[in-house]
Amino acid sequence: MLVNNAGIAIVRGVDDLTEEDFDRTITVNLKSAFLCTQAVLPMMRTRKWVRIVNISSGAARGAGSIGPHYNASKAAMEGLTRGYAARLVKEGITVNAVAPSLIETDMMKGQSGLVSRIPIGRFGTAEEVAQAVMLLVNNPYMTGQTIAMSGGMAFN
């Protein structure tokens, strides 16, 4: 299995966002998943039972507070997921995504005020994200889907 989980969050206002910020965000958040997937595809094709899970974000479908560059990188990640899923399913390769929002990580340190936005009343945990990834890894019928993890902030 391959889990594409590389990501950065350069927080910028619209007027402060630079081309360099945009390019770096797209490179780390999206291009890295493309490069890793392309690198392992030849080996994956020989196995006939392979799972790829891409880590997206609730920001792919919402405004978020990081910036439009981040939103775009995560929305494109979900497009990449569906594109690979459609083309690889007949080779035994499923491709899905998990889109967490407000997960208790280093990125959320000092952001405890955001908990009030989450109906479930707390940040999600890395373990809960890992459980969603494993759900996709263990399900051979699901492909091209995104599991949103928002604690009730948004529904698909």
Catalytic residues: 70
Distance between CA atoms of residues 130 and 125, nearest Å: 9
Six-digit token string for 152 = 């009730």
Integer distance in angstroms from the first to the last C-alpha of the chain?
A: 26
Give, in degrees to the nearest 5, the angle at Cα 22 between 21 and 24: 65
Distance between CA atoms of residues 122 and 45, nearest Å: 41
Strand segments (E) across the chain: 2-4, 50-55, 93-100, 146-149
**120-129 CB burial, b ≥16 within 10 A, e <16:** eeebbeeebb
Phi and psi at residue 50, in whole multiples of 5°?
Answer: -140, 145
